[in-house]
């Protein structure tokens, strides 16, 4: 069942495992400063809408969504994404141990119009590793998301693509995409690609090579109506996973 629950603490959850024969559950933590659009991204993905009124997350919210994924030569698998929307305020960071534990992936979100939100990413990543304690931090799946991409066409981009390229190279070529929660652009595709990567990695016993773009998962087939051409759009643009031109929209 899809939905959300506000949490101040967490009990034990069955995560990163196969339930029955065809259902997989993956916990994804969303990190980043306040007001970068984390909650709006999730609302777009889960509810296909978003609130126009900014309301900071208190502690963390838990959301779930089921998706059907078909890998080449295999039967369709049901994947349940358990998406944890964390507070961006510093006063809630001490709760990270409870919220981060058991995560299979981390989506790190910044606002392309806020240099500070980008500069704080390294601290967010370090804090996550310290509190979540992944066995192999260098292989843990982090995904970088530049939100509010609609603002780029309005000349409001503050974080240069060159800076993004340098940063992701310093962090194991972290996969990168840009999204607009206000417009809804690239939201579904980004979450789906993370789910596909996690499923493929699980089925191949964690031997899958880490992708250089979120949409870089190979061996995935989808119905034609769900296909997206991110790889084609990014050819010749210098930075994998980045569109330098986007349709104009309004906000978030």
Q: Per mean pLDDT, which range of 72-76, 144-148, 186-190 is the poorest?
A: 72-76
Q: What are residue 58's phi and psi, to 5 degrees? A: -100, 115
The per-residue pLDDT for 12 is 33
Higher pLDDT, 63 or 57: 63
**Tokens read off for 43:** 């609302």
Assess contact for 88 and 81: CB atoms under 8 A.
no
Is the confidence at residue 99, as pLDDT, over 50?
yes
What was the pLDDT predicted at 86? 82
Q: Region 24-53: what's the mean pLDDT?
A: 87
Residue 3 contacts residue 64 (beta carbons within 8 Å): yes
- In this structure, what token pair is assigned to residue 244? 């330098």
pLDDT at 209 (0 to 100):
57
pLDDT digits (tens, 9 = 90+) for 219-251: 443 333 333 333 333 333 333 444 444 444 445
Q: How many residues does the chain have?
A: 252
> What mean pLDDT comes out for the span 20-44?
89
Band of residue 111 on the pLDDT scale cut at 50, 70, 90: very high
Question: SS3 of 202, please?
Answer: helix
The string over 33-61, giving b where at least 16 C-beta atoms fall within 10 Å of a residue's C-beta and e elsewhere, is bbbbbbbbbbbbbbeeebeeeeeebebbb
Q: Give the tens place of pLDDT for each residue, 151-185.
A: 998 999 999 999 999 999 999 999 999 999 999 99
Q: Which residues, in sequence order, are CB contacts of 133 under 8 Å at separation 6+? A: 101
| CB-based burial, 125-145: b 16+ in 10 Å, e otherwise | beebbebbebeeeeebbbbbb
Q: Which domains does the chain have, with CATH numbers?
A: 3-234 (3.40.50.300)
């Amino acid at each position: 069942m899809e939905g959300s629950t506000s949490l101040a603490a967490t009990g034990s959850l069955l995560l990163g495992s196969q339930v029955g024969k065809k259902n997989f559950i993956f916990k994804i933590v969303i990190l980043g400063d306040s007001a970068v659009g984390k909650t709006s991204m999730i609302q777009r993905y889960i509810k296909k809408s978003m609130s126009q009124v900014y309301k900071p997350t208190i502690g963390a919210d838990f959301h779930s969504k089921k998706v059907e994924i078909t890998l080449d030569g295999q039967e369709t698998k049901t994947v349940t994404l358990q998406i944890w929307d964390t507070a961006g305020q510093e006063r809630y960071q001490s709760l990270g141990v409870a919220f981060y534990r058991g995560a299979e992936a981390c989506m790190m979100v910044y606002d392309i119009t806020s240099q500070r939100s980008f500069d704080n990413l390294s601290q967010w990543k370090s804090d996550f590793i310290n509190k979540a304690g992944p066995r192999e931090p260098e292989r843990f799946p982090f995904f970088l998301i530049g939100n509010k991409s609609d603002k780029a066409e309005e000349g409001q981009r503050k974080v240069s693509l060159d800076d993004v390229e340098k940063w992701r190279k310093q962090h194991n070529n972290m996969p990168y995409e840009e999204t607009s929660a206000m417009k809804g652009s690239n939201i579904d595709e980004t979450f789906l690609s993370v789910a596909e990567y996690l499923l493929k990695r699980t089925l191949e016993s964690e031997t899958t090579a880490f992708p250089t773009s979120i949409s870089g998962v190979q061996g995935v087939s989808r119905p034609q109506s769900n296909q997206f051409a991110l790889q084609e759009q990014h050819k010749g643009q210098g930075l994998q996973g980045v569109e330098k031109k986007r349709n104009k929209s309004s906000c978030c």
